[in-house]
Structure 1
Amino acid sequence: MQLRTNESIEAIASRLLALREGLRLSQQQFADALGISLRAAQNYERGARKLPAETLIEIARKFEIDPLWIMDGPEERPRSLGQVGLDQQTLSRAIGIVQRAVLETDANVDADQFANMVAAVYKFYMHNSSGAGAEDLIASFVAGYR
């Protein structure tokens, strides 16, 4: 299963670097704040390693940054959560639904497609608080990427 293209990984790495530098943190300080090793932080920032969803969520929480900006940009400067008004619990639920669907179906999606699916599920939850039907919604998206 491929979740991201090399180009997408490099773009995510570039945004992580911009975020860290904007926060005026060393790589070690950034890693410590996220509870990850220095080596992992360096690898994410260089694009040598894919950014796991758990780390993405922690970055969003810890630094109050829009996780969709990290995944999809397009601006050079980070968007804060306050700018977009994201609900962290709903976002975590949306990411989990998409991850499960992609893993269960072994779908081949890139970062843009993954981000679009997360955004669709997030919006669905925001308009339908029970979330009933979210799995069906994402199953229809994922079916197109097998």
Structure 2
Amino acid sequence: MAVLDDMAERLEQIRKRENLSQEAFSQRLGISRGAYQHYSRGGREIPSSVLDALLREFGTDPYWMLRGNERGPSSAKEELLVENAARIVLMLLDAYKDQKIQWDEEKLINATKFAQFYLFDKRSIIAEGRDIINKFASS
């Protein structure tokens, strides 16, 4: 539970730094105030779509949201995985927009996971995976 509490604390830090009410902050993240309250109390895990919104809206490093300033022996690998997932999310969102595809959080999460595993299995570089990402967006 400590990880959720730590993430909740960092979420509150961002909101307060931006000097926003819970309602205004929630709107910028594209979530309800109730969902924000669950995340900010550590009652629910913060989904990747909210981490992506924090990155886009406030320039928040997703790795910092997940781990704070803690660095462990495997942090370089973890950071690369988080960076790759974030790049995949951004590519998927662009593909959804370009292809005028309706998406929801579950579809985005599943497509991100599938693309990440597929690219890892093929040992493909994320930048070279744009065509693959577009394919996953439309499926």
Q: Structure 2-normalised TM-score?
A: 0.53
Spell out, residue by residue over 1:97-128, the C-alpha distance to the aligned partner (whole angstroms, 9 max, x if none): 11111110110122111111111222234342
- Corresponding residue for residue 131 of structure 1: 126
Amino acid at match of 2:63: R
- Corresponding residue for residue 137 of structure 2: 142
Deviation at 1:25, TM superposition (A): 3.4
Q: What is the aligned counterpart of 1:41 among 17, 25, 28? A: 25
Would the aligned equivalents of 2:10 and 2:65 in 1 still touch at CA under 8 Å?
A: no
Deviation at 1:143, TM superposition (A): 2.5
Amino acid at match of 2:34: R
Deviation at 1:60, TM superposition (A): 3.0
The percentage of aligned residue pairs carrying the same residue is 12
Structure 2 vs 1, CA of residues 28 and 135 (structure 1 numbering), >3 Å: closer, same or farther?
A: closer
Structure 2 vs 1, CA of residues 120 and 56 (structure 1 numbering), >3 Å: closer, same or farther?
A: farther
Report the number of matched residues. 107
- Corresponding residue for residue 71 of structure 1: none
Structure of higher RCO (CA pairs closer than 8 Å, 6+ residues apart): 1
Any stretches of 5+ residues in structure 1 without a counterpart?
1-17, 66-81
Q: Distance in 2 between matches of 1:107 and 1:61?
A: 28
Would the aligned equivalents of 1:124 and 1:131 in 2 still touch at CA under 8 Å?
A: no
Amino acid at match of 1:64: L
1:60 and 2:48 correspond: no
Amino acid at match of 1:105: Q
Structure 2 matches for 1:87-126, cutoff 5 A? 87-126=81-120
Would the aligned equivalents of 1:27 and 1:38 in 2 still touch at CA under 8 Å?
A: no
Structure 1 runs, 4 residues or longer, greater than 6 Å off: none
SS of equivalent residue, structure 1 residue 107: coil
Q: Structure 1-normalised TM-score?
A: 0.51
